[in-house]
Amino acid sequence: MMLHFHLQTTDGAARAGTLVTAHGDVPTPTFMAVGTAGTVKAMTADAVRATGAKIVLGNTYHLMLRPTAERVARLGGLHKFMDWPGPILTDSGGFQIMSLAKLRKLDEAGVTFQSHTDGSKHFLSPERSMEIQHLLDSTITMVLDECTKFPATHDEAAASMRLSTRWAKRSRAAFIPRDGYGQFGIVQGSVYEDLRRESAAALCDLDFEGYAIGGLAVGEGQAAMFDMLDITTPLLPAEKPRYLMGVGTPDDLLGSVARGVDMFDCVMPTRAGRTARAYTAAGVLNLRNARFIDDSSPLDPTCACLCCTRHTRAYLHHLFRCEEMLGPMLLTTHNLTYYQSLMIAARAAILAGNYNEFSTRTRVGWASGDAG
Amino acid sequence: MMLHFHLQTTDGAARAGTLVTAHGDVPTPTFMAVGTAGTVKAMTADAVRATGAKIVLGNTYHLMLRPTAERVARLGGLHKFMDWPGPILTDSGGFQIMSLAKLRKLDEAGVTFQSHTDGSKHFLSPERSMEIQHLLDSTITMVLDECTKFPATHDEAAASMRLSTRWAKRSRAAFIPRDGYGQFGIVQGSVYEDLRRESAAALCDLDFEGYAIGGLAVGEGQAAMFDMLDITTPLLPAEKPRYLMGVGTPDDLLGSVARGVDMFDCVMPTRAGRTARAYTAAGVLNLRNARFIDDSSPLDPTCACLCCTRHTRAYLHHLFRCEEMLGPMLLTTHNLTYYQSLMIAARAAILAGNYNEFSTRTRVGWASGDAG
Look at residue A268 and tell me whether its pLDDT is greater than 70: yes
Supply the pLDDT for residue B98: 87
Instruction: Give the closest-approach CA distance of B6 to chain A in angstroms.
Output: 32
Instruction: Please report residues of B whose CB lies closer than 8 A to that of A84.
Output: none
> Do residues A141 and A179 lie in contact, with contact meaning Cβ atoms separated by under 8 Å?
no
> Do residues A96 and A113 lie in contact, with contact meaning Cβ atoms separated by under 8 Å?
no
Mean pLDDT of the A125-145 span: 98
Supply the pLDDT for residue A372: 47
DSSP annotation string for B211-252: EEE-S-SSSS-HHHHHHHHHHHGGGS-TTS-EEETT---HHH
Helix, strand, or coil (residue A174): helix
Instruction: Please report residues of B whose CB lies closer than 8 A to that of A83.
Output: 310-311
Side-chain half-sphere CA neighbours of B161 within 13 A: 28
A85: amino acid identity, one letter = P
Instruction: Please report residues of A whose CB lies closer than 8 A to that of B39.
Output: 319, 324, 326
Residue B42 to residue A71, Cβ atoms within 8 A: no
Look at residue B311 and tell me whether its pLDDT is greater than 50: yes
A103 or B264, greater pLDDT: B264
- The residue of chain B nearest to residue A324, with distances taken between CA atoms, is B41
Residue A77 at interface with chain B, using a CB cutoff of 8 Å: no
d(CA B202, CA B207): 9
Question: A111-124: per-residue pLDDT in tens?
Answer: 999 999 999 999 99
Question: What DSSP designation does A96 have?
Answer: H
Question: A309-340: per-residue pLDDT in tens?
Answer: 999 999 999 999 999 999 999 999 999 999 99
Query: Which contacts qualify for A293-297: CB closer than 8 Å, 24 or more apart?
Result: A293/A317, A293/A318, A293/B67, A293/B71, A294/B71, A294/B74, A294/B75, A296/B74, A296/B75, A296/B76
Q: Tally the residues of chain A.
A: 372
Supply the pLDDT for residue A101: 86
> Do residues A242 and A236 lie in contact, with contact meaning Cβ atoms separated by under 8 Å?
yes
> Do residues B274 and B287 lie in contact, with contact meaning Cβ atoms separated by under 8 Å?
no
Look at residue B280 and tell me whether its pLDDT is greater than 70: yes
For A97, the enclosing helix (H) or strand (E) is helix A94-100
Question: B33-87: per-residue pLDDT in tens?
Answer: 999 999 999 999 999 999 999 999 999 999 999 999 999 999 999 999 999 999 9
d(CA B35, CA B23): 17
d(CA B249, CA B253): 6
A266 or B372, greater pLDDT: A266
Residue A37 to residue B75, Cβ atoms within 8 A: no
d(CA A43, CA A328): 9
Look at residue B371 and tell me whether its pLDDT is greater than 80: no
B15: amino acid identity, one letter = R
Look at residue A41 and tell me whether its pLDDT is greater than 80: yes
Look at residue B150 and tell me whether its pLDDT is greater than 90: yes
d(CA A161, CA A199): 7
Supply the pLDDT for residue A371: 59
Residue B75 at interface with chain A, using a CB cutoff of 8 Å: yes
Residue A70 at interface with chain B, using a CB cutoff of 8 Å: no
Residue A323 at interface with chain B, using a CB cutoff of 8 Å: no
In chain A, pLDDT over 90 holds for what percent of residues? 96
Distances (CA, A) of B327 to A186, B26, B282, B287: 34, 29, 20, 9
Residue A325 to residue B328, Cβ atoms within 8 A: yes
Mean pLDDT of the B176-192 span: 98
Question: B259-274: per-residue pLDDT in tens?
Answer: 999 999 999 999 999 9
Q: Which residues contact A197 (CB under 8 A, 6 or more apart)?
A: A189, A231, A235
Instruction: Please report residues of A whose CB lies closer than 8 A to that of B69.
Output: none
Residue A120 at interface with chain B, using a CB cutoff of 8 Å: no
Residue A76 to residue B296, Cβ atoms within 8 A: yes
Supply the pLDDT for residue B193: 97
Cα distance from N-terminal residue to C-terminal residue, chain A? 49
Look at residue B221 and tell me whether its pLDDT is greater than 60: yes
Angle between helices B355-368 and B250-258 (to 10 degrees): 160
Look at residue A296 and tell me whether its pLDDT is greater than 90: yes
Told to judge if B265 belongs to the known catalytic residues of this protein, a careful annotator would answer: yes
> How far from chain centre, in Å, is Cα B178?
23
Look at residue B370 and tell me whether its pLDDT is greater than 80: no
Using CB atoms, pick whichever of B75, B82, B315 lies closest to residue A81: B315
> Do residues A140 and A181 lie in contact, with contact meaning Cβ atoms separated by under 8 Å?
yes
Mean pLDDT of the A77-99 span: 96
Q: Phi first, then psi: what are they for B40, rounded to 5°?
A: -75, 115
B151: amino acid identity, one letter = P
Whether pTM exceeds 0.90: yes
Instruction: Please report residues of B whose CB lies closer than 8 A to that of A45.
Output: 310
pLDDT band at B192 (very low <50, low <70, confident <90, very high): very high
Look at residue B372 and tell me whether its pLDDT is greater than 80: no
For A11, the enclosing helix (H) or strand (E) is strand A4-11
Which chain B residues in 33-52 lie under 8 Å from chain A, judged by CB atoms?
A: 37-39, 41-46
Residue A85 at interface with chain B, using a CB cutoff of 8 Å: no
Mean pLDDT of the B102-124 span: 94
pLDDT band at B131 (very low <50, low <70, confident <90, very high): very high
In chain B, pLDDT over 70 holds for what percent of residues? 99
